[in-house]
Amino acid sequence: MNLLMCPVCREALSLTDRTWRCEQNHSYDIAKQGYVNLHVVQHKHSKNPGDTVDSVQARRAFLSAGFYAPLRSAVVEKIREMRIENLLDIGCGEGYYTDAMQQEVMQCVGVDIAKNAVQVAAKLNKEVTWVVGTGATLPVLDHSIDLCTSLFSPIPEQEILRVLKDEGHLMVVTPAPEHLYAMREALFDEVKAHDPHKFVEQLAAHFELLEAPIVTSDFELDQEQLKNLIAMTPYAYKAKAEKRAALEQNEKFKLKAAFQIYLFKKKS
Sign of CA dihedral 54, 98, 112, 119: positive
198: amino acid identity, one letter: K
Q: Which residues are annotated as a binding site for S-adenosyl-L-methionine?
A: 68, 94-95, 179
Q: Are strands 19-21 and 14-16 parallel, antiparallel or unpaired?
A: antiparallel
Cα–Cα distance between 199 and 222 in angstroms, integer? 33
Annotated binding-site residues read 6, 9, 22, 26, 68, 94-95, 179
* Paired strand residues for 212: none
Alpha carbon distance 257, 171 (integer Å): 19
- What CA–CA distance (Å, rounded) separates 232 from 60? 9
Specify whether the CB–CB gap between 98 and 107 falls below 8 A. Answer: no
Residues of the binding site for Zn(2+) = 6, 9, 22, 26
